[in-house]
Amino acid sequence: MLGLRVAVAASGAILAPLAATAEAAQTNVAVAANFTEPAKQIAVLFKQKTGHDAILSFGASGAFLAQITHEAPFQVFLSADQDRPKAAIDAGLAVPESLFTYAIGKLVLWSKVIDVTKGDEALKAGAFAKISIANPNAAPYGTAAIETMKALGVYDALRGKIVQGSSIAQAFQFVDTRNAEVGFVALSQLFSATEGTRWEVPQNLYTPIRQDAVLLKKGAADEASKAFLEFLKGPEARAVIEKFGYGLD
C-alpha cells in the first residue's frame, strides 16, 4: 500500500510568476514522514512559482524503497537517510547525478506526561512504562533512537519498554495520544507543538541523519520532477527547511 497521498495546490489569489512553465504538469514524490509539513509548504511554493503540482506521499523510507523496487509510480524520492536513495541508484532505479542532501535531521526526546528537559537523566531513571521509536528497519530516526540509548548505556534497561511505530509519524502519534509516555521524534514534528517537554538529543550520540533526495528513473524525462528537485535546492525551499529546524549543507 502506498503512503498517504496529498495533492498540494497554491491557495488564495497568488498568481504563478511569468517564469512558470506554459503547460502545468505534476510529479509524484515519495516523502519521508519526518518531512511531511515542510514538504507541504514547499509544494505550495513550487506550485506558485512553476505552475506544477507536487503529489506527495508520506511514509517510512524503507517502505518506499520496497515500493519503488516493485514499480510504484513515484518520480522523486525524498528519503530520511542516504542509504535508500543510494540503493535505488545501485538497483538502476534512480539517476545517479541527481543525488543530493536536502536536509539534516535532528532527533528529540519528547513527552506530554513527564519532564524530559534533562533527557539523559529521564532515560536513566526510566520512570515510564512505554517509550516510542520509529521502526529502525524502515526509518532512520528509529536507528538514531537506538544509537542514542546505547550511547547512554540505557538500551538494555529500556528495550522491554520500547513500542515501535511503522514510521516516525506513528512514533509521534503514540506520544501525542499519550499511549507512550515518552518517545523519540523528529525536531520538525514539534514545530507547532505547544504541549509537553523536550530534549534535543546531542548529535554526537547518533549518526548524522543526512536526508538525501534523488530523481527516480520514472521521472528522468519529466520536467516537473526535475524542476521540483531544482526548487528543493533553491532559497525558498531552503528557508522552509531551516524554519522547521533542519540543518543544511
Q: For 13-65, what is each residue's pLDDT tens digit?
A: 233 333 444 478 999 999 999 999 999 999 999 999 999 999 999 999 999 99
The pLDDT of residue 102 is 98
How far apart, in Å, are the Cα atoms of 137 and each of 76, 93, 150, 171, 233? 22, 21, 17, 14, 28
pTM, to two decimals: 0.84
Q: Hey, how many other C-beta atoms are within 10 angstroms of the C-beta on 199?
A: 21
Q: Please say if the pLDDT value at position 3 is more than 60.
A: no
In a domain, 248, yes or no: no
In a domain, 84, yes or no: yes
- Both 23 and 41 in a single domain? yes
- Both 92 and 124 in a single domain? no
Q: Phi and psi of 159, rounded to 5°? A: -60, -30
The pLDDT of residue 5 is 52
Confidence of residue 249 (pLDDT cuts 50, 70, 90): confident
Rounded CA-CA distance 58/78 in Å is 10
The pLDDT of residue 120 is 97
- Both 213 and 195 in a single domain? no
Decide: residue 60, CB within 10 A, 0-12 exposed, 13-18 middle, 19+ buried: buried
In a domain, 64, yes or no: yes
Structural domain boundaries, residue 81 = 4-104+209-243
Q: Hey, how many other C-beta atoms are within 10 angstroms of the C-beta on 32?
A: 33
What CATH number does residue 227 fall under? 3.40.190.10
- Both 73 and 134 in a single domain? no
What average pLDDT does the segment 186-195 reach? 92
In a domain, 222, yes or no: yes
What average pLDDT does the segment 79-83 reach? 96
- Both 100 and 221 in a single domain? yes
- Both 119 and 145 in a single domain? yes
Domain tally for the chain?
2
- Both 114 and 140 in a single domain? yes
Rounded CA-CA distance 2/123 in Å is 35
